[in-house]
């Protein structure tokens, strides 16, 4: 994005949004992955797991790698009409 082409007020707002995104990164990405991964390590690996798409899919797939486990899990495909 070329910040020089954006009006000053919009640049200030984008700066605030960028700061918020950076500040919340741990809580939106890193923290859920570690929490879910630690939980996955505690459950029986013979129990399959199901999750939907979106953030849940993102967190579950990364938590699976983080946890280093062999749980079988299924991701629901989005419904297309």
Please give the helix or strand (H or E) that residue 20 lies within, else none. helix 8-25
The 10 Å Cβ neighbour count of residue 60 is 21
Instruction: Supply the pLDDT for residue 39.
Output: 92
Instruction: Supply the pLDDT for residue 78.
Output: 65
Asked whether the beta carbons of 69 and 42 are under 8 A apart, the reply is no
The rounded average pLDDT for each run of 10 residues, N- to C-terminus, in the chain (81 residues) is 67 86 78 90 85 77 87 70 58
User: CA–CA separation, 70 vs 51, rounded Å?
Assistant: 16
User: CA–CA separation, 56 vs 75, rounded Å?
Assistant: 9
């Amino acid at each position: 994005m070329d910040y020089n082409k954006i009006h000053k007020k919009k640049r200030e707002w984008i700066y605030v949004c960028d700061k918020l995104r950076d500040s919340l990164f741990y809580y939106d990405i890193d923290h859920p992955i570690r929490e879910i991964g630690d939980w996955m390590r505690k459950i029986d690996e013979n129990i399959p797991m199901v999750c939907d798409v979106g953030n849940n899919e993102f967190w579950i797939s990364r938590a699976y790698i983080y946890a280093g486990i062999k749980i079988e899990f299924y991701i629901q495909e989005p419904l297309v009409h």
